[in-house]
Chain A
Amino acid sequence: MSDAPIEEFIAELEASITAAQPGEIQPETLFRACPWWDSLAVLCTLGAFDICFGRQIQADDLRRCKTIQDIYDLSRQEGAS
């Protein structure tokens, strides 16, 4: 089970993805279409997820995500490493 609300996860993302404007990251954001989404944003997302939930996102799982909510929902899946 996740131990951080999505607002906290988004706050972590906003703090580390400095290219994103405040308020630009929302649960329904289709992140791949955003100008700030690049290989560095990927690492920031992995880092934010690890800080919030104490575990890592696998590359294949991230590939299936479309929205920020999708990434957050990975924290509620059983069996993630």
Chain B
Amino acid sequence: MRAQLHHLRLAALSVATGPVTRTLDDEAHLYADQPGQLDRMRAMVGIERRHIAPVGITALDLARAAAERVLRETGTSPDDLDAILFVTQTPDHPQPCNANLLHGQLACPPKTAAMDINQGCSGWVYGLYFAGLLLETGAARTVLLCAGDTVTQTIHPRDRATVPLFGDAASAALLKRAEHPSPAWFALHSDGRGHGAICIPAGGARQPRDVRTGVAKVAEDGSERSPENLFMSGIEVFNFTLREEPKAVRELLEFAGTDAEAVDIFAFHQANPFILTQLARRLRLPLEKVPMRTAREFGNQSSASIPGVLAHDCGEQLATRRTRLLCSGFGVGLSWASCLLNVDPLDHVSIFQLQPPVPL
């Protein structure tokens, strides 16, 4: 589906990253039997280091830190929030949802609506659209959109195909009803037949955890994982991305009646520099318009990766200059979503690493 909104204003953004930094060299033990593999990954995949959250620190903790910063820096009271939307696939509990928990932590009033959106790498754009709808109707004037995951906690520590790719982070964006209408274009997509390409098979109602689901096996490529761990088929995900993403971006530009030259920044989901370079080439985009340092320095941050790249790579630009911004996320679902909007200088933009807990 696609839609045009008119009253969405991105006012402020903050991103909190996991407190522990791991470099690619820290993962050398995974490739002891593959000489040169680490260097090849560094050269080709392009992820140098990642910020991760150890078990005990959740997406909610990261989002709370980011949300408190955004509210403080913009002088916004929790009473001003009409809604909290929280995009995550690693919530604190099966129920209640993270948005309700954050509502309590921020001491929001009962009038503040709260709900989660269960999406991953496309999720920030999905969340932005639904927040934009609330603002479009006038029911909400201020919405807090949080998005983030602790994907690394779902990956088996000896899954050498997946471990070096992911980081943990969560974002908080303050969205306000634009007083002067400004068009924003959205296109949301999904392909549920591809759901097996990225999946955690066990731990939900279909396959509850039991003594067997926690047992890891060694896969064909030497990676270990159990049904409770994240599985990602690199081939299927890569093919999906090449097949759908360039088309989705072209169609959105056409829908908006514009072209790539008129866009200042293409903020893609920060899967990794290898994939981002492939996308830029297919769309014939100059690399300076396709920021990817966030992927290099933090890893794939799932639903927080688009706010991550906005805050990290584009923070100065977004704080000072009106920017024509295209955001596009793609991944688990399979699901992909893109939007094009004009962003006036933000009231606040920041990215910070959560301080590690003090050891006892």
Query: Given A39-B161, A40-B45, A51-B281, A59–B242 Cβ distance below 8 Å?
Result: no
For residue A4, CB closer than 8 A to chain B, the reply is no
List the 10 closest pairs (A to B, CB-CB), nearest first: A56-B239, A59-B235, A50-B242, A40-B44, A43-B238, A47-B278, A19-B40, A46-B238, A40-B40, A56-B243
For residue B36, CB closer than 8 A to chain A, the reply is yes
Chain A 2-32 interface residues, beta-carbon cutoff 8 Å to B: 16, 18-19
Query: Given A43-B274, A51-B281, A56–B242 Cβ distance below 8 Å?
Result: yes
As a 0/1 sequence over residues 260 to 301 of chain B, the CB contacts with chain A under 8 angstroms (1 = contact) are 000000000000001000100110000000000000000000
Residues of B participating in the A interface, judged by any CB pair closer than 8 Å: 34, 36-37, 40-41, 43-45, 161, 221, 233-236, 238-239, 242-243, 274, 278, 281-282
For residue A38, CB closer than 8 A to chain B, the reply is yes
Query: Which chain A residues border B161 with CB–CB below 8 Å?
Result: 39
As a 0/1 sequence over residues 35 to 47 of chain A, the CB contacts with chain B under 8 angstroms (1 = contact) are 0001110111011
Q: Do A39 and B221 touch (CB < 8 A)?
A: yes
Report the separation of the CA atoms of residues A21 and B239 in the bound assembly, to the nearest whole angstrom.
26
Residues of A participating in the B interface, judged by any CB pair closer than 8 Å: 16, 18-19, 38-40, 42-44, 46-47, 50-51, 56-59, 62, 81
Shortest Cβ distance from residue A55 to the other chain B in the assembled complex, whole angstroms: 8
- Closest A residue, CB atoms, query B236: A59
Shortest Cβ distance from residue A74 to the other chain B in the assembled complex, whole angstroms: 13
Report the separation of the CA atoms of residues A42 and B37 in the bound assembly, to the nearest whole angstrom.
14
Q: Do B242 and A47 touch (CB < 8 A)?
A: yes
Q: Do B239 and A18 touch (CB < 8 A)?
A: no
Shortest Cβ distance from residue B102 to the other chain A in the assembled complex, whole angstroms: 37
Query: Given A40-B44, A51-B281, A46–B36 Cβ distance below 8 Å?
Result: no
Q: Is the interface of B mostly helix, strand, loop or mixed?
A: helix
15 A/B residue pairs, CB under 8 Å, sorted by A: A19-B36, A42-B235, A43-B234, A43-B238, A43-B274, A44-B44, A46-B235, A46-B242, A47-B278, A51-B281, A56-B239, A56-B243, A57-B239, A58-B239, A62-B235
Report the separation of the CA atoms of residues A51 and B278 in the bound assembly, to the nearest whole angstrom.
9
Shortest Cβ distance from residue B139 to the other chain A in the assembled complex, whole angstroms: 43
Q: Do B41 and A40 touch (CB < 8 A)?
A: yes
Query: Which chain B residues border A44 with CB–CB below 8 Å?
Result: 44
Report the separation of the CA atoms of residues A59 and B239 in the bound assembly, to the nearest whole angstrom.
10
Shortest Cβ distance from residue B61 to the other chain A in the assembled complex, whole angstroms: 33
Shortest Cβ distance from residue A56 to the other chain B in the assembled complex, whole angstroms: 4
Shortest Cβ distance from residue B240 to the other chain A in the assembled complex, whole angstroms: 9
Report the separation of the CA atoms of residues A51 and B243 in the bound assembly, to the nearest whole angstrom.
11
- Closest B residue, CB atoms, query A59: B235
Query: Which chain A residues border B281 with CB–CB below 8 Å?
Result: 51
Report the separation of the CA atoms of residues A58 and B44 in the bound assembly, to the nearest whole angstrom.
22
Query: Which chain B residues border A43 with CB–CB below 8 Å?
Result: 234-235, 238, 274
